[in-house]
Structure formats: structure tokens, C-alpha cells
């Protein structure tokens, strides 16, 4: 992996924080709804954001 600049690392850090927040928000929304179709969609979106987080994190290893 090439050396990342401080600005690039800062941007990746911001993206990680954003993806983590979205994962938590959609998970929370899924738990609060009584509609099973909406719950399933929120859980799917949460998992997608978790996947984004994992991919970004792996890039930094």
C-alpha cells in the first residue's frame, strides 16, 4: 500500500466514522419499527454500511 497523506488519512477517518454512525442508526431504526418489511430493509442498509466500514478498515491495514 502506498503512503497516504495526512489529508487522505483524515478523509478515511471521517468516512469510517460516517459509516459506523450509519450502521448504528439503521440498526436502531430497524429495532424501533413494527413493520417487518421496513425492518428488513433497515437491517439490509445497516449491513451495507457495515460492509463499507469493513472495506475501508481493511484498506488501512
pLDDT score of 61:
84
Residue pLDDT, tens place only, 1-60: 678 899 999 999 999 999 999 999 999 999 999 999 999 999 999 999 999 999 999 988
pLDDT score of 1:
61
- Cα angle: 43, vertex 13, 39; to 5 degrees: 10
DSSP secondary structure, 21-54, as one string: HHHHHHHHHHHH---HHHHHHHHHHHHHHHHHHH
pLDDT score of 43:
98
Amino acid at each position: 500500500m502506498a503512503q497516504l497523506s495526512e489529508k487522505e488519512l483524515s478523509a478515511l477517518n471521517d468516512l469510517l466514522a460516517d459509516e459506523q454512525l450509519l450502521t448504528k442508526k439503521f440498526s436502531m431504526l430497524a429495532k424501533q419499527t413494527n413493520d417487518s418489511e421496513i425492518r428488513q430493509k433497515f437491517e439490509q442498509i445497516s449491513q451495507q454500511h457495515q460492509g463499507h466500514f469493513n472495506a475501508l478498515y481493511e484498506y488501512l491495514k
